[in-house]
Amino acid sequence: MGNSPSGFEYQVFKDGSVQILHHGKQAAILRGRRADDFLDDVSLDDGQLIMARLTGNYRRGNERAARSHPRNLKP
């Protein structure tokens, strides 16, 4: 395992919304309570995994098993 997500960054705007970027491209915008909760969580941790989970852009651990599934094998 050991593949921790990377390439995420975020920007906080004056209105309190948070824009999450992945490799420079917008991945999500958080507003209101979600933005506040995100900022609280990020202040305690690096935030890469948090941002990956919020955007849905993270490995789930089953990629290797899926590669050998019969429907994914080329005839």
Mean pLDDT in consecutive groups of 10 residues from the start of the chain, 75 residues: 75 96 92 95 88 77 68 74
DSSP state of 70: G
Pairwise CA distance, residues 71 & 20, whole Å = 35
Instruction: Look at residue 1 in the predicted model and tell me its pLDDT.
Output: 45
Instruction: Look at residue 57 in the predicted model and tell me its pLDDT.
Output: 67
Instruction: Look at residue 59 in the predicted model and tell me its pLDDT.
Output: 61
Instruction: Look at residue 74 in the predicted model and tell me its pLDDT.
Output: 74
Q: What is the pTM of this model?
A: 0.70
